[in-house]
Amino acid sequence: MPHSTQLYQHVPESRWPIVYSPRYNITFMGLEKLHPFDAGKWGKVINFLKEEKLLTDGMLVEAREASEEDLLVVHTRRYLNELKFLFDRVEGISRATIIDLDAHQGNGHERDFMEDKRVYIMDVYNRHIYPGDRFAKQAIRRKVELEWGTEDEEYLGKVEQHVEKALREYLPDVVVYNAGTDILEGDRLGGLAISPGGIVKRDELVFRVVRGHQVPILMVTSGGYQKRTARIIADSILNLHNLGLIGPPSRDVSAQSSDSPLLPPAVP
């Protein structure tokens, strides 16, 4: 029996498919400024989008905090390590694909779904950096290992080619897309050399291919250890919107109506 939870809420169609909470932005007496990860970048992304008149606070879906009871649905007390929530709670979801384009190997979800045939994992990462988890690699169905300093042309070609092949091999009910920005040139932890424009184009390629297969896609923004990544993420969201790949059809906030759909029809 499903337990009672406050996590799920009705989302009016006037809201954007963007989940955000101010609590995502971590502060601790200023010490966060000493860390290489910009702990406030999600707030900066939202502010950039507001400045561009793309959205307002009333158009966002605010995340709710999971209770301990909620977490225990998907995790054991030992580590809270088995993520099955998607299949248990979302009607019509029985097959999922994870497209992990963070610069690091995604060994966490790979270990979580090691024996789960419902989940197809594609992982594109710098083969020379952390974590180098050989055991977790067994869970990857489509593995693309990159060399130090990989640049736009090679990277984008591989992303487009392998996303298309992944969806032909295994057509899921939903795609979870890890859109890490630690692939950006100059990121000392990622070790790749993708330009800001290359990141925007990467996200566009993924959305075009996935939406072309008429599959819903959930994008999460993860790694990215430079202050300029917030602006790049915002630019990518703006590009996806301008191309009709996400959000209501009107660009102007003032033109929004409650009848605007969250997502346009699938892109051919």
Residue 250 lies in a domain: no
Q: How many CB atoms lie within 10 A of CB 216?
A: 17
Q: Is residue 129 part of a domain?
A: yes
CATH number of the structural domain spanning residue 170:
3.40.800.20
Is 206 inside any structural domain? Answer: yes
Q: Which domain, by its residues, includes 116? A: 92-243
Cis amide bond preceding 131, omega within 30: yes
Q: Does residue 167 form part of some domain? A: yes
Res 85: pLDDT = 62
Answer yes or no: are the C-beta atoms of 165 and 141 closer than 8 Å: no
Residue 37 lies in a domain: no
Token output for 243: 């191309």
Is 122 within the bounds of a domain? yes
- The reported pTM is 0.80
Does the residue 215 lie in any domain? yes
pLDDT by residue for the chain (268 residues), tens digit each? Answer: 566 777 777 878 888 889 999 888 877 767 667 666 787 888 999 999 999 999 999 899 988 878 777 777 656 665 444 445 667 667 888 999 999 999 999 999 999 899 999 999 999 999 999 999 999 999 999 999 999 999 999 999 999 999 999 999 999 999 999 999 999 999 999 999 999 999 999 999 999 999 999 999 999 998 898 989 999 999 999 999 999 999 865 444 444 433 333 333 443 3
For residue 105, tell me if it sits in a domain.
Answer: yes
Q: How many domains, the chain?
A: 1
* 81 within 8 A of 107, measured Cβ to Cβ: no
